[in-house]
Copies of this chain bind each other. A is one copy, B any other.
């Protein structure tokens, strides 16, 4: 009997989840189909390492060409992470007429047009549901919506690590450093959390979603991003007292021939749908011109949800559905950060009266302050509706006066 053969590049968390669902028959599809697909080869860096008993060690190889050049393999699953060598492997697989499913947000974000074009030229599919939102079927949902709708807005909480940290700070009133430590201990954050807390991870995901939504490649580099490392426990408390929850939000929208993108901490009104998505959960809100607003949330990370997305793509290919449509010819360009404006929250740490009056003077050049409070060495205030660039100017000037500053826009 003809059996679809799959080669797996990488056997980390996600790879192991995919292996369990397919070869260990944990997934329903693979229990009932007589000719269920099988993983026949797995690329690892060390074939000798102990990886537990539920693994067929004879499938392991350290030579990528055992998979990429094997003509009996139909689908390559690329779940190594990072840029190289995975990009090179994926291109080689596509050029050898293999379908590719990947969870690698970096190579998709950086090379989506090239990869989709290479897939098309070779008459195979390139699928990447797992690259954004973990288990949330956002790429598929967006593809379906786009057949009928124009999407004009994408909003989301796209990083489980930082959402977990902010939820912990809010629930347990801990500092950023303590919450990060907890996240690391619980496996929700990497030893080096830079990509998460500085927004690099989020902006790659926003780049992927926005490029598909607006039919134009929007590079990660093109997205303004601000990290969450300067959030303090006092910010969580003060924003809560004003009826807000601090979240790390990715936003993009299309207006006329301009697109606008932003990754930044934001104050969300409590008891709204962005505000209540906590811990490792992600949420994505899409606005279509016909369907209206649609929201999907689910676990944004973790072995099983992410593996579910990878295996969903494999089934999509097995069922010979249409590949991802890639039209990046929409003549739009970056409208800059002032597409985003609003009321801003500011907090500076002020150590003496000289700093205090200097800070006041410099803020007054740009905005009227509202609800000003000085409390335990911190000056807090809200602004009127200002463009994002004005907030950045204030930050720049204040940075000359005091070291510890946090600010974020209110999303009503």
Interface residue ranges, A against B (CB under 8 Å): 21, 26-29, 135-137, 140-141, 144-150, 270-273, 275-277, 288, 290-299, 302, 304-305, 307-308, 311-312, 315, 319, 321-322
Contacts and interface: CB of A to CB of B under 8 A. Distances in A.
A273 to B, nearest CB: 5
Given A270-B271, A291-B304, A292-B298, A148 B276 contact: no
Count copies of this chain in the complex.
2
B276 A291 contact: no
19 contacts: A28-B146, A28-B150, A29-B148, A135-B291, A148-B315, A149-B308, A270-B271, A271-B271, A272-B276, A288-B308, A290-B305, A291-B298, A291-B304, A291-B308, A292-B305, A293-B298, A293-B299, A294-B298, A295-B298
A331 to B, nearest CB: 16
The residue among A150, A302, A305 with the most chain B CB atoms within 10 A of its own CB is: A305
A292 B302 CA distance: 10
Given A271-B276, A321-B319, A148 B290 contact: no
B311 A148 contact: yes
A322 B321 CA distance: 9
A292 B299 contact: yes
Contacts of A140: 144
A137 B143 CA distance: 12
Contact of A144 (B149, B276, B302, B312): B312
Contacts of A297: 273, 294-295
A149 B21 CA distance: 10
